[in-house]
Amino acid sequence: MLKYLEPHSEPVVETLRIAKVSRRGFLGTTGAFALAAYAMPARAFDKYPTGAEGMPHGVVEDPLVFVSIDADGTVTLVAHRSEMGTGSRTSIPMVMADEMEADWNLVKIVQAPGDEPKYGNQDTDGSRSMRHHIQMARKIGGSVRTMLAQAAANEWGVDPATVTVEMHEVKGPAGQSAGFGDLAAAAMALPVPTHEEIAYKSEDQFRYIGKGEVQITDLRDITTGAAVYGGDVMLDGMKFAVVARPPVVGGKAASFDATEALAVPGVESVHEIPYGGLAQKFAPLGGIAVVASNTWAALKGRDALKIEWEAGEHGSYNSDAYMEEMIATSEQPGSLARDQGDLDAAFGDAARTFTRTYTQAHIAHIPMEPPAAIASYTAEGLEIWAPVQSPYTVRNDIAEAMALDPENVRVNVTLLGGGFGRKSKADFVTEAALLSREVGAPVRMQWTREDDVRHSFYHTTSAERIEVSLDAEDNVTGWLHRSVAPSILSTFAPDEGNVLPLEQGMGLNDVPFDIANIRCESGKALAHTRIGWFRAVSNIPHAWAIGSFVGELADELGKDQRTMWLELIGAPRQLDPQNSGLPDNFWNYGEPMAEFPIDTGKMAHVLNVAADGIGYGKDLPEGEGIGLAVHRSFVSYVACAAHVKIVDGRITVPEMHMAIDCGFCANPERVESQIQGAAVMGMSVALHSGITFENGAVVQSNFYDYDVVRSDNYPTVTTHIIPHPFSVHATGVGEPGVPPVAPAIANGLYAATGDRRRSLPMGVNV
């Protein structure tokens, strides 16, 4: 457990958020170092290409965009990614501050509005924040440090190579000294150095990077109630709104009567919102909005609406029957996602085959903060305060929906009370904006928990069938994995039942097993609800199936789980996409394969670390067992070893060991917190959380019937972070912890009880 100092006692003003390093910070041990002049060869880190260049608006490395220094020395850093709990609002500025030699206690963070041409890509998604911005953050910090030193050298008339910068102070060879504030104006007027002109810190000179000793930026505000989330901005004259939405996506109000709603004290007006449906990206579902002087009046008004709903074409969606159809589809060949070797020959020559099918229900994200947003439409333009993962997308989408010039739309990003993919989709923000224009006043849009559970962009549901061929010596000679799931694509374009390469790349066709003949196929499935992405996306069903299958195969062949995993993973090697039967459009999380390969050595290593950590193989009492699973996703590798124990007929997981290889780790403390959180969320996926549909409408509504893991049954997680130097590229953290958890629990349940469960959620009772 990491320990932190008490926050220091300086008054904290609204915008000034000073964090504090802990007593474990060794502030005196980092030596000062001399700077090269711009033109001199430098101690650079080796730049490497990432998928960031391929993201809309790429990466901006201009320090003048991200850094300002006040005369008093306060360094203000811009956080351009949304904070939804992963810590990016802390960790990226922390990297900038470290490379700048700024004192973290003199740094404040401001949040960028949605403006990608200025800040670069802001789509906080795909576990990309650190992976795509650690080089940029070092470059920006190093640039400012170099410019400060050059400004001092100019002022003192000395060789810049003799100037040192250390903890917010610039020192000259004859004892000269200046603070950052003294030099700021001159420094920021200098040319920005190139990468080669910057003398970067060596890794042993890092103060904050890799240490895990800073408090998160918003910690004080979070613990005092001052932190601002989506529904927390108060504007003069603000109205409060809720919406009655069609129970079935694509449905409409055939008629409605608002007489009684309008009679509720506090209710001011009722509005019909244009209807949406599938293939309309993140457009609102439509419905009847009630605007009132407070949220309670709006809720009572909504209850008093009389609405006749028309279900539309998706009114026949019943998820139980749909699951049977998907399972039937998985019995038939699908479209090829990978074809390595000669699978037909392998099956033709097989001594026997072994087949299992796994399923998974839809999932709703249910962040603790249900969707909420504030919009203020005036003659000057539209201003929004909202908890959104991609504010620039929101700005453009709303401008388009309302026929506004995007230049006249400003999207301010509040803290997100959890996102998990739900807040990539800003239907709730558009609702607020439309209503603000309608009523001529600022509007706070509030979704209830029932709204959130019933009108999400759901994680896909799936059937996964895996069949292997075995030779006479029980060697696995062929692997056939058929995946059937409605696609995210259906949210963006008319649905033909096909999945995207990126969904296949998330654990289906990137399976790294050392099997000569591998075929992966996708079966068609038409969507009948809005399919979105939930933390880890298609990796969840794929890892669920593969991880459970490995456990079953181990049992079938009389091997322990670790042995089975290691045999299938094979010797340390990198998967060669050219000779693995992968399609040309194979998706490696948007990253170049040469820089971010599929490395079986890393995969085996995290498995061994987790298994060793928990003591896999040790004797356990009756009713207890350990399950193992490992998965690569978001170009990281995570293994989970779950100790399952049956207590009073209920599945508990008192202990987990999770091992993550995320390349170079900038902030191990936040990586640990993400892994602890992924363990809990993965366990919710495993045991509790399933969305089902009857006649097109979601059956569940609130925590009554859509529950999650609570503190009476959380796993105590020991997190193992595989250490790496900076040269081993930083990879994803937010999502990759989730996929291995459910199969590890299923394998642990089987080890504990002999009870094999193949459907998610598997239920908490035995």
Partner 1 sequence: MTKIILNGSEREFNEAPDMPLLWAIRDLAGLNGTKYGCGVGLCGACTVHVNGKAERACQLRLDEVEGAEITTIEGLDPDGNHRVQAAWRDLNVPQCGFCQTGQIMQAVALLDENPKPSDDEILAAMSNNVCRCGCYQRIVDAVRLASTGI
Q: Which of residues 71-130 bind partner 1 (CB under 8 A)?
A: 83-87
With residue 240 as reference, give the H or E element that holds it: strand 239-244
Query: Is 391 a residue that touches partner 1 (CB under 8 A)?
Result: no
With residue 171 as reference, give the H or E element that holds it: strand 169-171
DSSP 602: H
| Binds partner 1 by CB under 8 A, chosen from 269, 316, 408, 448 | 448
When the beta carbons of 26 and 703 are compared against partner 1, the nearer one is 703
| Binds partner 1 by CB under 8 A, chosen from 180, 385, 420, 637 | 420
Listed residue (490, 635, 534, 520) closest to 581, CA to CA: 520
CB of residue 109 vs partner 1: minimum separation in angstroms? 14
Query: Is 758 a residue that touches partner 1 (CB under 8 A)?
Result: no
Q: Which of residues 33-52 bind partner 1 (CB under 8 A)?
A: none
Query: Is 655 a residue that touches partner 1 (CB under 8 A)?
Result: no
Locate 525 and state its tokens: 């499935």
Q: Which of residues 676-705 bind partner 1 (CB under 8 A)?
A: 676-681, 702-704
| Binds partner 1 by CB under 8 A, chosen from 176, 294, 353, 692 | 294
| Residue 235, C-beta contacts closer than 8 angstroms, at least 6 positions apart | 374, 376, 442
Ramachandran angles phi, psi of 281, nearest 5°: 50, -125
With residue 612 as reference, give the H or E element that holds it: helix 600-614
Q: How far apart are CA 665 and CA 515, in angstroms?
A: 32
Handedness of CA 683, 557, 509, 335 (dihedral sign): negative
Q: Which of residues 295-334 bind partner 1 (CB under 8 A)?
A: 295-297, 300
Query: Is 13 a residue that touches partner 1 (CB under 8 A)?
Result: no
Find residue 288's DSSP bridge partners. Answer: 244, 272
DSSP 351: S
3-state class (DSSP) for residue 721: strand
Q: Which of residues 450-489 bind partner 1 (CB under 8 A)?
A: 450
Using CA atoms of 161, 163, 165, 171 in order, give the dihedral in degrees to the nearest 10. 170
C-alpha dist (Å) from residue 687 to 204, 238, 307, 707, 747 = 44, 41, 36, 9, 13
Interface size with partner 1, residues (CB under 8 A):
72
Q: Which of residues 368-387 bind partner 1 (CB under 8 A)?
A: 368-370
DSSP 161: G
Query: Is 236 a residue that touches partner 1 (CB under 8 A)?
Result: no
- In the block, tokens 């030596």 appear at 31
Q: Which of residues 713-732 bind partner 1 (CB under 8 A)?
A: 714-717
Query: Is 669 a residue that touches partner 1 (CB under 8 A)?
Result: yes
Q: Which of residues 187-226 bind partner 1 (CB under 8 A)?
A: 215-216, 218-220, 222-226
When the beta carbons of 292 and 607 are compared against partner 1, the nearer one is 292
Query: Is 673 a residue that touches partner 1 (CB under 8 A)?
Result: yes
Contact window for partner 1 (CB under 8 A) among 37-45, 352-360, 443-451, 539-547: 443-451
When the beta carbons of 341 and 370 are compared against partner 1, the nearer one is 370
Contact window for partner 1 (CB under 8 A) among 150-158, 184-192, 521-529, 672-680: 672-680
When the beta carbons of 219 and 401 are compared against partner 1, the nearer one is 219
Using CA atoms of 247, 248, 249, 252 in order, give the dihedral in degrees to the nearest 10. -80
CB of residue 232 vs partner 1: minimum separation in angstroms? 4
| Binds partner 1 by CB under 8 A, chosen from 93, 193, 251, 367 | 367
Query: Is 26 a residue that touches partner 1 (CB under 8 A)?
Result: no
| Binds partner 1 by CB under 8 A, chosen from 49, 179, 181, 266 | 266
Listed residue (173, 209, 161) closest to 25, CA to CA: 209
| Binds partner 1 by CB under 8 A, chosen from 61, 125, 182, 232 | 232
The whole-angstrom distance between residue 393's C-alpha and the CA centroid of its chain comes to: 17
